[in-house]
Each structure stands twice: as structure tokens, then as C-alpha cells.
Amino acid sequence: MEKELKGKTAIVTGAGRLRGIGRATAVALANLGANIVITGTGRDPETFPEDEKSIGWNDIESTAEQVRNQGSLAKTIITDITKESDVETLVQSTLERFGSLDILVNNAAAPYGEDRVPIVEIENEIFKKVINTKVYGSFLCSKFAAKEMISQNTGGRIINLSSSAGKEGHARMGAYNAANFAIEGFTQALAKELALDKITVNSVCPGMTETARLDPIGRGALWKSRAENIPMGRVGTDEEVADLIAFLSTDRARFITGQAININGGSVTSR
């Protein structure tokens, strides 16, 4: 593979998990030659899943090591993307370390769990947290990153993680549906605003993907029956989603903007 992203700098938010789209994306972009800034929330090691504990996984530091193994440079920053000062620091320290910012992957999201209840039961604070991390967090990161990309005047890429839940509403997914549908509206607006600056803005909408995020639903009968309902007959991998994000980050994808691309084995095709 020729290093298509050599000399580019990417920020990937929420990339501390061993099994996760953030980590896989950081590695895929590094594989194409980009230097990567990785954010996480500074998870308490006691809450790590068993597989992370057993191999001595060290959150974003371990993702950074995987990036370096691809021959790229990595920097880690603990960031609360819903705090303006944190996001300003994130962008500033990216520029200080690497001199440019070319790619932003808005991947961070509130964990799956207490939000998956009927709307009449959902705690207000839980609902706000889901929306705040996904929508307000993507807004803040995009705002500061886009300002920089515009002033660099060399184009750029913003890729927002949405979901099948950004295309179809489901019972017990009110907060998550609201957040992901919002990401798609935001993607379209931002794409139109930044198009002439050669900054493309797209979202990627994965279906069921094998990541730690989905551990709360287990890997038993429910998992199996859901996988069987996917036309491809299987769930996706974090690497597959990452590869699409990496493609969208290349110069080859410069004519694709404002889209919300499904990657789901055929489970949702209607939009």
C-alpha cells in the first residue's frame, strides 16, 4: 500500500478500547501514513473488560502503540469533548505536535447501557448525556477543527460516526436515535458550508459491529439471532468500519461529501 496519507494529521476521538471503531480507525489511518492524535476519557482500569485486563491493555496508550507499530507518530490526550476548553486544548496541542490538522474522526459516544429503556422511563440526565457527547461533542470538535482546516487552506476531512440508529427508529433507542439522526443533519449542513474549502464531511452508519460497546447485550442467543437477521449472516468488525473511514479520508474520496453511508451487511438499505 502506498502511503496515501503521508504527512497528514488525524484526530480520532474515543479511541481507547481494545475492541472498538476508534482504535481500528486510528490504526487504519496510520497504516496509510497519517500521524494520529487519540483521545479517551481516562477510563478507570477497574472498569476495563476482561479481555483488556488479561493482556494488560492500557487504554489510549495501547492504541498509540499500535499506531506507532504502523510506522506513524501518535499522541494521546485525555479529553472531555463536551468541554470547550478541552477541545481547544486538543486542537492546539495537535498543531503544536504535528503542525497541521487534516482529518477529524468524531467517534466518541456515551456508553451503551442505561439509555436503552422506554422513553417514559429514561432518566433525563442519561438522555442529555447521550445527546451531549454525540451531538454537542461532534459540534465542538468540528468547529475548532474546521476553523483550523479553513485557515490551512489545504482541504480536509471530517467523518462523523452515526449508526443504523441514525436511519431507523427503534423502541428503547430514543436517545441514541435522536443523537444519530442529528449527526446526519449536522453532517449535511457542515458539508454544504465547507465544500468550497475542499473539506468533505460525511458520516458512516455501521450496523451491529463486534466491539466492546455491545458487550452489555452479551454474545448469547440474542446476539446470534440478531446476526442471523443480517443479510450477510454475520455482524461486522471494527476493522471493516475503519477501512471505510480510511477510504473516505483519502484523496480518492474527494467527490464524496454530505453523505451518511451505511455499512451494515445489508440490514438497513432503505435510506
Partner 1 sequence: MKKELKGKVAIVTGAGRLRGIGKTTAVALAKLGADVVVTGTGRKPENYPEDEKAVGWKDVESVADLIRDEGSKALTIIADVTNKSDVKNMIDQTIKEFGRIDILINNAAYARAEDRVPILDLDENVFQKVVDIKITGTFLCTKGVIEHMIKQGDGGKIVNISSSAGKKGTANFLAYNAGNFGIVGMTQSMARELGPENINVNAVCPGAVDTSRMDVVRDDWDKMAANTPIGRNGTDKEVGDFCAYLCTEASSWIHGQSINLNGGTIMEH
CB of 255 to partner 1, least distance (A): 4
Q: How far is the CB of 4 from partner 1 (least distance, A)?
A: 9
Question: Rounded to whole angstroms, how far apart are CA atoms 24 and 245?
Answer: 10
Q: Which of 144, 176, 181, 186 is catalytic?
A: 176
Q: Closest CB to partner 1 among 72 and 133?
A: 72
72: three-class secondary structure by DSSP: coil
CB of 10 to partner 1, least distance (A): 18
User: Whose Cβ is closer to partner 1: residue 126's or residue 258's?
Assistant: 258
Nearest Cα neighbor of 237 from 4, 69, 15, 23 is 23
Of 20 and 207, the one with the shorter C-beta distance to partner 1 is 207
Residues present in the chain in total: 271
Please tell me the distance from the alpha carbon of residue 60 to that of residue 50, in angstroms, as a whole number. 17
| Distance separating alpha carbons of residues 37 and 54, to the nearest angstrom | 26
Q: Measured between alpha carbons, how far is 216 from 210 in angstroms, rounded to an integer?
A: 12
List residues binding partner 1 (CB under 8 A): 1-2, 167, 188, 191-192, 195-196, 198, 200, 207, 230-233, 236-237, 239-241, 243-244, 247, 252-266, 269-271
Q: Which residue number, 112 or 247, has a Cβ lying nearer to partner 1?
A: 247
Residue 112 is among the residues annotated as catalytic for this protein: no
Least CB distance to partner 1 at residue 152 (A): 17
Give phi and psi for 88, each to the nearest 5: -60, -45
Separation of alpha carbons 129 and 261, rounded Å:
25
Query: Which residues are tagged catalytic?
Result: 176
